């Protein structure tokens, strides 16, 4: 997600608003962009150091609720991409989800 004031609060707040639980949470700015090149390629953008953060949240839910959580997070304006072990959502682009 964009490293902007308030962005983290939006993600955390969403979990509470929608009644999902957070087991653990970790956030830091991304320094090594190598694993994220595919996002840059797909969206046609270029990340600069300090601009984006990676947020890792552990939560225990079933598949259907997990899909709903990913979609809700993906909707937040400052989130660039969100994924779990199976699916990746980029803004406007959906990868790998066994969609309907």
Return the number of the residue (57 or 67) whose C-beta is nearest another protein. 67
Binding site for another protein (CB under 8 A): 1-2, 5-6, 9-10, 13, 17, 43, 45, 64, 67-68, 71-72, 74-75, 77-80, 89, 91-94, 99-100
Q: How far is the CB of 58 from another protein (least distance, A)?
A: 21
Which SS3 state, helix, strand or coil, does residue 40 take?
Answer: helix
Return the number of the residue (28 or 93) whose C-beta is nearest another protein. 93
Q: Do the Cβ atoms of 29 and 53 come closer than 8 Å?
A: yes
User: Pick from 20, 32, 29, 22: which is nearest to 1 by CA?
Assistant: 29
């Amino acid at each position: 997600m964009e490293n902007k004031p308030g962005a983290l609060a939006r993600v955390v707040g969403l979990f509470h608003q929608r009644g999902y639980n957070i087991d653990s949470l970790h956030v830091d700015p991304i320094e090594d962009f190598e694993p994220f090149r595919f996002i840059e390629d797909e969206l046609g953008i270029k990340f600069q150091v300090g601009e984006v953060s990676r947020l890792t949240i552990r939560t225990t839910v079933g598949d259907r609720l997990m899909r709903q959580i990913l979609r809700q997070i993906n909707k937040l304006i400052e989130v660039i991409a969100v994924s779990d072990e199976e699916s990746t959502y980029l803004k406007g682009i959906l990868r790998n989800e066994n969609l309907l």
